Amino acid sequence: MADSTQPGTQSFDSGFPLYIPANKVEEILKISELIPVIERALGNFSNRDNGGIVQPVRSVVPVAKYQGFLGVMPCFSAHEHVLATKLVAFYPTNYDKGLPTHMATLMVFDPENGSLKAIMDGEVITNLRTAAASAVATKYLANPKSQVLAIIGAGHQARSHHQALSTLFNFTEVNIYSRTLESAEKLSQEIGSTAKACSSVEEAVKRADIIVTVTFSKVPVLFAKWVKPGAHVNAVGACRPDWQEIDPDLMRGSVLYVDSREGAMKESGDVILSKAEVYAEVGEVVNGTKEAFCEKTTVFKSLGMAVEDAVSANLVLAKLRTT
């Protein structure tokens, strides 16, 4: 039974919106439960009019004076009966100031009358649902016998991606490269004996079956010449039309999957600047309407979608109701 004296656990009938802080979201949201929910959401999204999802491409306000951005991400999912919006501020330069680079809040409304039901932390959800989306892509697009994982970047997404992908694969080797050897070593120690901090991207990726790029770089960090044929890449950073994380030759030379075609054409420098052709949305692969070329080199360009946040928030509320 929920304890109404604790923040994040007020009664659903109190008339006030629930407030659910990060520690509560973290306690409730389990990656293994989230992955199938995100898989369903990606499929529904790619069903377009039949999928019951209304989701405009994210609006982003650049705060050029402070090198930051504010993203607004609303979504209604008829199948999940959820109406929500995420507000996410991302300030890449905060990393070097020791401040969080992403600050996010979710508001969940009653779809029947528009009243505000809950306000919850969006940072944990952003970390987990992004990794869950990559896990869905990787499940379909990577060699099922994958054993070697490379992670480029050593922040929040690096950690959540290792957590999510480890639910699907038994990695014998996890190679980490980051801008500082210190941050790669810290993550490597957290992961344990299978992990190794590498001193170059090439060293980290050359044996990798699965590669995750989760940096704030604005220029390519992962080059085609280092990538093993048949590897799968989750390209998760570079969410602005003039930012890149992946070498254009790798973008053009791989089978390219995205979360949303509209989002990729508006926001992804990796897609726009390379002029690589998008083969499919991952949701189309989930729906069985497009092929999963797991024997070829594949790239999943992820930008993040509001529906992923909405269904994650819905899962948090559903689990809160039953505890």
Ligand X SMILES: O=C([O-])C1=[NH+]CCC1
Ligand Y SMILES: NC(=O)C1=CN([C@@H]2O[C@H](COP(=O)(O)OP(=O)(O)OC[C@H]3O[C@@H](n4cnc5c(N)ncnc54)[C@H](O)[C@@H]3O)[C@@H](O)[C@H]2O)C=CC1
Binding residues for ligand X, rule: CB under 6 A, are: 71, 88, 90, 102, 126, 239, 303-304
Compute the least distance from the CB of residue 247 to ligand X, in Å: 20
Binding region for ligand Y (CB under 6 A) out of 58-66, 147-155, 193-201, 285-293: 147-155
Site string for ligand Y, 169-188 (x = CB under 6 A): ---------xx---x-----
Contacts of 220 (CB under 8 A, 6+ apart): 244, 245, 246, 247, 248
Closest CA relative to residue 257, chosen from 160, 152, 171, 134: 134
Q: Are 258 and 301 in contact (CB under 8 A)?
A: yes
**Torsion of the alpha carbons at 50, 303, 211 and 36, rounded to the nearest 10:** -40
Q: Helix (H, G, I), strand (E, B), or coil: what is residue 152?
A: strand
What is the token pair recorded at 94? Answer: 């905060």
Which of 77, 215, 244, 268: binder of ligand Y (CB under 6 A)?
Answer: 215
Compute the least distance from the CB of residue 60 to ligand X, in Å: 9
Binding to ligand Y in span 61-100, by CB under 6 A: 90, 95
Does 153 participate in binding ligand Y (rule CB under 6 A)?
Answer: yes
Compute the least distance from the CB of residue 186 to ligand X, in Å: 23
Q: How far apart are CA 19 and CA 108, in angstroms?
A: 10
Q: How far apart are CA 134 and CA 138, in angstroms?
A: 6
Does 126 participate in binding ligand Y (rule CB under 6 A)?
Answer: yes
Which of 117, 156, 232, 290: binder of ligand Y (CB under 6 A)?
Answer: 156
Half-sphere exposure of 124 (CA within 13 A, CB side): 18
The binding site for ligand Y (CB under 6 A) comprises: 90, 95, 101-102, 126, 130, 153-158, 178-179, 183, 214-217, 221, 236-237, 239, 302-304
